[in-house]
Amino acid sequence: MKIKANDIRVGNIIHYNKEIYVVAKTTHTQPGKGGAYVQVEMKNIQSGVKLTHRFRSSEDIEKVRLDQEKYQFLYRQDNFLILMNIETFEQISVNKSLLEDRIEFLKEGMEITLEICSGTPIIAHLPDITQSVVVECDPMIKNQTSTSSYKPAIIENGVRIMVPPFINVGDRILIDLKDITYIERLK
């Protein structure tokens, strides 16, 4: 699908120089002399190489259409994740690098959404919210509830997260995976 360079947004997947890129940042510029342009910072999905390019505002860019499919995580095998399509029960293996820094939160049976281009998985998304158990944290200090302070805690997968002072070891908590922050304690 063709779009104008002015319509490029952060998160778009575009086709440029026979390769696929994800847009990380855009800057629209109207210089006093010359034509307007859009400066785009993008990252190659296959190689991870970052690139900055200027497109003329009126230039046509090929936006890649991605299909979304839901999979269930089964197990890890070396550098690969074995997934099962929820609808067809077909199993596939994808490189664990698709999850980048969220791999620690992957649990057996978790639902993963894959964005697929021409039969190749390009991006993997975990659910926005997950639950975990606190395995290590400092004890609560009495009379500290008057301030809105947070304390460090380590959850079951070894990730360090900031939690309110009333959280104790063994508590089940909800975590927002977009920015890895505490949401609430579960009953």
Task: Kindly give, in sequence order, each residue whose CB lies less than 8 Å from that of residue 66, ignoring residues fewer than 6 positions away.
Answer: 13, 115, 116, 117, 122, 123
**Given this chain, do its domains 67-125 and 129-185 carry the same CATH topology?**
yes
CA angle 21–128–160, rounded 5-degree value? 100
Q: How many whole angstroms separate alpha carbon 94 and alpha carbon 64?
A: 20
Query: Domain 2-63 maps to which CATH number in 2.60.40.4070, 2.60.40.1080, 2.30.30.30, 2.40.10.480?
Result: 2.30.30.30
Task: Encode the chain (187 residues) as per-residue pLDDT tens digits.
Answer: 899 988 998 888 899 998 889 898 999 988 888 889 999 999 988 788 999 999 998 899 999 888 899 999 999 998 899 999 999 999 999 988 888 778 889 889 999 999 888 788 888 889 999 999 999 998 776 665 555 688 899 999 899 999 998 889 999 999 998 888 999 999 8
pLDDT of residue 145: 56
Q: Which sequence spans correspond to the domains of the chain?
A: 2-63, 67-125, 129-185
67-125 belongs to CATH 2.40.50.140: yes
Contact 136, 169 (CB under 8 A): yes
129-185 belongs to CATH 1.10.4160.10: no
Nearest to 58 by CA among 36, 34, 25: 36
